Amino acid sequence: MAGNIGQVQVETTTGSLARQKMMDKWAGWLFVLPALLFFSVFVVYPIGYGLFLSLFKINSFNIDERQWVGLENFTKVLADPNFHKALLNTAVFSFFVVTIQTVLALLLAVAVNQKIKGSTFFRTAFFFPSISSSVVISIIFLWVFNQNGLLNYALSTIGVKGPTWVDDPRTALPAIMGLNIWTTAGTMMVLYLAALQDIPAHLYEAAAVDGANPFQRFFRITLPLLTPTTFFVVTLGLIGTFQVFDQAFVISNGSGGPEKSTLTAVFYIYQQAFKETGRMGVAAAGAVVLLVIILTVTLIQRFIFRSEQEY
Amino acid sequence: MAVSTEVSLKTKQPGVIGETPAWRRVLVRVLIYALLIGFALFEFLPFLWSITTSFKSEQEINAGFVNGFHWIPQNFTLNNYLDIFNKVEFGRWFFNSLIVGVITTLFTLAFSSTSGYAFARIPFPGRDFIFWCIVATQMVPAIIYLVPIYILLKNLNLLDTLPGLIIPFMVTNFGIFLMRQFFTSVPVELEEAARVDGAGRFRTFAQVVLPLAKPALAALTIFTFMGRWNDFLLPLIIINSPDKYTLPLGMSTFRGLYKTDWGLLMSGSLLVMVPIVIMFVFFQRFFIEGVSYTGLKG
């Protein structure tokens, strides 16, 4: 009898555990179901739909009317000189912005990380521009780059007659690079600063004792230990700059000009989809090409960073 | 390593080790401050320039440098701040942006916290696979969505409506990911105590877990609201009617219309920034801590 009572007790506890597990299964689904519903419709489905649409010619006036064209959109987009121009602009933009902002962010982070007065102030000040809207920043910079603007006034004080910046095909893209670096260098600095503060101080003390000078300490200790952060900063930079659009749109007043000098890849895709007739499928194909480029570049740089880390 | 350090400590005279001459330390210090102050000026001058411009009269702005360069307005005026509400529907755009930002954020908080909690804590069949899929979608650049989202919203009759700006962003991979990571880091013992007392999943979540999640919810609020407030591409492709413009869209069309009215453009631009700046002043910590979670705008 005594044994029986024990058995019953065991059964009830396992029974309630099993019931709780059963309940959990349903609770789990209930917790995720509403979110998953929207996620499937507005995130997962559009990805597949986007790939699917790149194989069709879509009627601009009746979007539901489409015709299977296979890979024709891809051959069209890859043969379009405007797409080549847009990709070249994007690559140039990306290269200069990512390189300059990464180096600048590292330099600033190392400077803020010294025992100096006002380091919190500097961190906040550098971060601040990244919270404002890209459209607003572009408008403010249009005024800075204006003939009567701040930049050309500053140049005139040292006797240089500034160019017309955004109206000159040679300087329009560099002007947008400048405002992009101005916006994001501070954010990247915050990432570097967090990583710098995690480096144990005893490593530097040991190096100083061994007689390493500040440059050796930077290149032998700081830089190698920051490799994961550099990878992250470069990846974020590449993904962001490869999709630059808002600034180019506002600065060129929606034209991508002068002389297509500010036509970026996303800008091109936008124009194909919404400014040309019957080229929505071409736009979808352009987006797939850009996706492949971004994934490839990210993988290549992951490979480079990994081999460096092994060293 | 440790041995060699000790040896070198003994062989070299203490105090001389790693010591640089005083003049060089001063020089380094000066260079550091020059770099920091120089960059801070570089960051602030465009803002300062737009602020002073917004208080200048049209004549003074158009005169350029003919009468010399002045930071301080010669004829201080508030007209630019009054005119922006009269010449364009700035108040309306502000209201639209607020509606879109607030409603999207509320839904994102609800959906991300419930599903993030389940992905972190409640084992159910298929959970890890679904979460893996959500993480994988983060690899997809936003441009892929341009055409499909437009067609989807058209088929749902949401083109040129504010719900069309809200619904696609109510659930984001970033939000689910952020909340899931946060809930994973909460000690499980806290919940178990409540569960032993007989509280079900929903009560445990609402009364024990959610109050602990305030920092994560604050970061998610900031990034969601800021993302919607500053978004340009989606409003640009789906909104046509000026009375449904959000602020960035309105300001971009306004730049095309009043290309030379820099006073108005500056006052409008600065007003767009006000709500975000207020959030930044009060919740600065969450902005800067949250950076590592988020991607960057293009």
Q: What ipTM does the predicted assembly reach? A: 0.87
Provide the Cα torsion A127, A132, A136, A142; round to 10°.
0
Is residue B70's pLDDT more than 90? no
A136 vs B170: CB contact, 8 Å cut-off?
A: no
Last residue of a domain, one of B81, B102, B131: B81
Could you tell me the pTM of the whole model?
Answer: 0.88
The answer to whether B236 faces chain A, any CB pair under 8 Å, is yes
Range scoring the smallest mean pLDDT among A26-40, A45-59, B3-17, B140-154: B3-17
| Structural domain boundaries, residue B48 | 19-81
- Chain B residue closest in CA terms to A273: B147
The answer to whether A269 faces chain B, any CB pair under 8 Å, is yes
The answer to whether A238 faces chain B, any CB pair under 8 Å, is no
Domain match, B156 and B197 both: yes
Window 21-80 of B: residues touching A by CB (8 A cutoff) are 28-29, 32-33, 35-36, 39-40, 42-47, 49-50, 53, 61-62, 64-65, 69
Q: Which of the four pLDDT bands, split at 50, 70 and 90, describes residue B6?
A: very low
Domain match, B61 and B196 both: no
| Residue with the larger pLDDT of the pair A162 and A296 | A296
Indicate the SS3 state at residue A22.
Answer: helix
Domain match, B226 and B98 both: yes
Half-sphere exposure of B34 (CA within 13 A, CB side): 6
Tell me how far apart the alpha carbons of residues A248 and A138 are, in angstroms, rounded to a whole number: 8
B122 vs A49: CB contact, 8 Å cut-off?
A: no
Last residue of a domain, one of B81, B109, B124: B81
At B49, the amino acid letter reads: W
Q: Which of the four pLDDT bands, split at 50, 70 and 90, describes residue B8?
A: very low
Furthest C-alpha separation in chain A:
106
Q: How many domains does chain B have?
A: 2
Indicate the SS3 state at residue A68.
Answer: strand
The answer to whether B117 faces chain A, any CB pair under 8 Å, is yes
Q: How far is B246 from chain A (nearest CA, A)?
A: 12
**Stretch B246-255: mean pLDDT:** 91
**Stretch B167-191: mean pLDDT:** 90
Domain match, B69 and B48 both: yes
| Residue with the larger pLDDT of the pair A21 and B284 | B284
Domain match, B64 and B146 both: no
Domain match, B263 and B115 both: yes
Domain match, B50 and B145 both: no
| Residue with the larger pLDDT of the pair A288 and A25 | A288
A211 vs B233: CB contact, 8 Å cut-off?
A: no
Last residue of a domain, one of B52, B81, B110: B81
CATH number of domain containing B165: 1.10.3720.10
Nearest to B147 among A39, A112, A273 (CB): A273
The answer to whether A297 faces chain B, any CB pair under 8 Å, is no
Domain match, B42 and B76 both: yes
**Stretch B214-225: mean pLDDT:** 91
The answer to whether A29 faces chain B, any CB pair under 8 Å, is yes
Tell me how far apart the alpha carbons of residues B90 and B250 are, in angstroms, rounded to a whole number: 8
Domain match, B145 and B197 both: yes
Domain match, B177 and B217 both: yes
The answer to whether A32 faces chain B, any CB pair under 8 Å, is yes
Indicate the SS3 state at residue A238.
Answer: helix
A142 CB neighbours in chain B (<8 A) are 255, 265
Domain match, B43 and B125 both: no
| Residue with the larger pLDDT of the pair B59 and A52 | A52
Confirm whether B210 is domain-assigned.
yes
Confirm whether B137 is domain-assigned.
yes
Confirm whether B2 is domain-assigned.
no
CB B113 within 8 A of CB A32: no
CB A262 within 8 A of CB A252: yes
Rg (CA), chain B: 27
